[in-house]
Chains A and B, each alone.
Chain A
């Protein structure tokens, strides 16, 4: 295996980074859809890190489709700031990935491009890392959203809870601190950034939620178009599949395929009985349905088998476990 495979949720075992003092914090800010004054954001959080006495660097990653804000040039001149811009639209996950790749800190702090939590919340996150967590995610509490947004959040979390062992309360919060090896082990592609805490827990890392005060500017009502909700739903579906069936694709495709196949077979039998008792069946739509279902079932099972063969041949290079401690 030469190049690392993007779609690898399970990676070769390595030891946990373990508790240690934070030396350099790389703050990665993906600027994708929504942004407040970036320079103000930088100043506020830099001051907070300064007050804690940790070294830091800021990486702003602008998506290609995002219009460059007026403060960009003066921001880029600030000390400890790097600004990167995608040539075209790649999305938030890709922005995080690039930021992590280009950063050099032993701790990565992801931060949304708008005020989501109060700056004082950063301290407890770093403390959690120093106390031995591999990842500390902020959980906005008390949450002062409108009821509409709260219902959205509840539904989203309920769906995710079906997949992960660990329950999260604010998985969509963009403020997360993690050790570098953890950040590099995350399978970040597509829109999986929403599931970063769950992905890390699935990799066997220790993830802690830290309650952090929500920033007043974050509290307004947000309403999205139907397209956004559809995409969220597909994200959850993709994550669900990734978490449950990457090791055994045939369990999924085989189940769906055999249900189709059996339904088709039953319909075919009914038609056969009808035909034998003298009723003509050639013009019945059910005939088409029966044959189609059988064909679909065979196809799905075939797909599952191809998946199984690929998983099998990759097995020597991957391990499902991660060692947390050794004695």
Chain B
């Protein structure tokens, strides 16, 4: 998405909330956000994104949109939280954007503090849920493990990657494109384009209405996605290097078995049947290494036409 010029009269702040089957939560959420931002000096808007809900969420959103500060988007089908957030971001007009969950678990009263932090010169301020009100075994423990691994692998020191309550500068959102289920990796993706990131404690509440849409099975998926993301962000500009590194172990194996083969052949004579294992493994390993290098070349070719895309341009932030 190209950067949109902000027009005079556009709100300063956009609050984006994706909703999926949250019919009962819509009105309280809007009322709560309006109340929390009542004393906020700048002009703001609330963008409610109905992600193909099957209940009457959209009717509730339409009713809420009677307030001129509230806008509603209805997506054609259920596309998941990441794409729903992207829809909100694409339609947000504010120079600062805040995202939060539509299930009332985030507290809108934290928004002014997040925005103040953003103005200190950050591009992304992540919420860090204090006294998380979720089930221990099913939600908190997997989340704690996943967050540790994410921190370790990406090197971004954010404690709570899963918290939806975040504040972004427009310039950052214009640079990152989220797809699949990447909303959990916003800090890591932002760091990969050079964003200045911080976190601050936010409140967290237990769910009042509706049901949680997540189960424990997603932890494995998160880890696979994380591995993928790590590979991509490290090697997206030089895939041949990545595949070259991956080809090293098979090359080493091939070399080792060549040596063993030579030793076996000289010590026991070439007729020794047992020695057949050595050339076999050596050749196959060499084949794998060769294949990986070729694949790296294919990746280079495939990417040559995509190179001009926005996230390949080194980021330079404007000093404010």
Contacts and interface: CB of A to CB of B under 8 A. Distances in A.
Interface of A: 13, 16, 165, 201-206, 247-248, 250-251, 254, 280-283, 287-288, 291-292, 295, 298-299, 302-303, 305-306, 308-327
Given A16-B76, A327-B71, A320 B287 contact: no
A319 B90 contact: yes
A250 B224 contact: yes
**Majority SS at the chain B contact face:** helix
A313 B303 contact: yes
The list of the 8 closest CB pairs from A to B, nearest first, reads A204-B76, A315-B177, A320-B83, A327-B65, A313-B306, A325-B74, A322-B76, A282-B277
A129 B25 CA distance: 33
Contacts of A251: 221, 224
8 contacts: A165-B77, A206-B76, A291-B284, A308-B228, A309-B299, A316-B310, A320-B80, A324-B74
A196 B189 CA distance: 35
Nearest to B88: A321
Nearest to B295: A302
Interface string B206-248: 0000000000000001001100100110011001001100100
Q: Which residue, B235, B275, B281, has most C-beta atoms of chain A within 10 A?
A: B281
A309 B232 contact: yes
Interface of B: 1, 51-52, 58, 61-62, 65, 71-80, 82-84, 86-87, 90-91, 177-180, 221, 224-225, 228, 231-232, 235-236, 239, 242-243, 246, 250, 273-277, 280-281, 284-285, 287-288, 291-292, 295, 298-299, 302-303, 306-307, 309-312
B236 A204 contact: no
Contacts of B72: 325-327
A316 B311 contact: yes
Contacts of B298: 306
Contacts of B90: 13, 319
Q: Which residue, B82, B228, B306, has most C-beta atoms of chain A within 10 A?
A: B228
A315 B179 contact: yes
A327 B239 contact: no
B292 A282 contact: no
B75 A322 contact: yes
Contacts of A250: 224, 228
Given A280-B274, A305-B228, A310 B291 contact: no
A322 B180 CA distance: 15
A317 B228 CA distance: 20
B287 A323 contact: no
A227 B90 CA distance: 46
Given A280-B274, A327-B72, A312 B83 contact: no
B179 A323 contact: no
A314 B309 contact: yes
Nearest to A319: B86
A327 B62 contact: yes
A309 B234 CA distance: 11
Given A282-B276, A322-B76, 10 more contacts: A251-B221, A254-B224, A287-B277, A303-B295, A309-B299, A313-B236, A319-B90, A321-B86, A324-B74, A325-B74
B87 A323 contact: yes
Contact of A323 (B74, B180, B221, B276): B74
Nearest to B174: A316
Contacts of A321: 51, 75-76, 79, 83-84, 86-87
Q: Which residue, B1, B277, B303, has most C-beta atoms of chain A within 10 A?
A: B277
Given A283-B273, A306-B239, A310-B303, A317 B280 contact: no
B73 to A, nearest CB: 5
Given A313-B303, A324-B75, A302 B235 contact: no
A186 B29 CA distance: 37
Contact of B288 (A280, A298, A308, A323): A298
Contacts of B309: 313-314, 316-317
Given A165-B78, A282-B274, A326-B73, A309 B239 contact: yes
A13 B88 CA distance: 12
Contacts of A283: 273, 276
B284 A306 contact: no
Contacts of B221: 251
B77 A310 contact: no
B87 A325 contact: no
B303 A299 contact: no
Nearest to A249: B228
Contacts of A16: 76
A251 B311 CA distance: 23
Contact of B76 (A203, A288, A305, A309): A203
A323 B284 contact: no
A287 B279 CA distance: 12
B83 A326 contact: no
Contact of A326 (B74, B277, B281, B307): B74
A302 B62 CA distance: 47
A287 B79 contact: no
A316 B1 contact: yes
Nearest to B182: A315
B76 A306 contact: no
